Amino acid sequence: MKTVYHTFISRLLVFALVMGLSFCTKSKTDPQPALISPSDAKKVGDALIMPNGTQTKTGTPPAPSSSTQAPKVTPTTTDQPTSNGSTERVGVNYSNLNGGIGGAYAQVQGSLSYYDIPLSGNAPKSGVVTLPIGIPDNIDNGSFTLVVCIYDASGRVSNIISIRFTITRFTPPAPGKGSVVLNGKTYSATAVCDIDMGFGYGKAYGIMITSNQAILLYNLRPGNNQLVDIINGNFDATKDPWGAYIDSNGSFYASTSGSATYNGKVVSVSMRGEDFNGNKTSFTAAGNCQ
């Protein structure tokens, strides 16, 4: 796998960073509704996009159970960077599950309502549940905290965990333009699309940060795309959505998680990546190709 991708990245850099890339036609952007401040817990709680079947209930979730048979949870991450219009797959590690899983409770800290998210199946005694949390298009820069717990089929409630969502808001850039927040630094960028490198991976959407740095997004479909884990997961790089950060020094960080919202011209992406030595990076970016 490493040999394949080392070859891929060296050839990709020649095409993408030396030969140049072609541009798409201009796109049209729609006006945005009034912005929601992440500090307004009620409005954020009303606006988050939850899985099908979720019920919104008034008040606070049931308290954790005192029973020794109650499940226990820990977060896979306590800090989730994201952007408006993204969907983040929030992982919750659980253990001591007895008698099957019933669901999860989630609440924006400070909100007057909470979510009851149904989960079902003969889940093992320990594992990971993943909750897709949709971030509305009209949320502003800032952060909010989501508190989460799970309950088993008998209604026993786990302990509570907290996950902080930090939002970097992207408005659609001007045609041909983009923006990137990488390692805490903001860059103006150039957006290109329909890049066919001829390697059998399909067409890519590119966000050129500098003449030596680029973000490439493959196999995007209209709407929200969950980026596959290229480093550790099972995937089909010719069909599954995935992303990469590359530079002319030979760096290649492939997606391990993240999401990209795509409408054919405008894209916004939040991605965590890793190279083959275990080094990690994360970024948020937006582009509007022409």
**Residue 73: its H or E element:** strand 72-75
pLDDT at residue number 1 = 45
Domain residue extents for the chain? 2-29+172-288, 41-167
pLDDT at residue number 222 = 80
CA dist 261 and 241 (Å) reads 11
CA dist 148 and 161 (Å) reads 5
Domain 41-167 of CATH type 3.40.50.1360:
no
User: With contact defined as beta carbons under 8 Å apart, do 60 and 107 qualify?
Assistant: yes
Q: What is the pTM of this model?
A: 0.63
CA dist 170 and 141 (Å) reads 9
Length of the chain equals 290
Query: Would you give per-residue pLDDT tens digits along the chain (290 residues)?
Result: 444 455 455 545 544 444 344 333 334 444 557 899 999 999 999 999 999 999 999 999 999 999 999 999 999 989 988 888 888 889 999 999 998 999 999 999 999 999 999 998 778 999 999 999 999 889 999 999 999 999 999 999 999 999 999 998 877 788 889 999 988 889 999 998 887 766 677 778 989 998 888 899 999 888 778 899 988 888 888 889 999 998 888 889 999 998 888 877 889 898 999 998 999 999 999 899 87
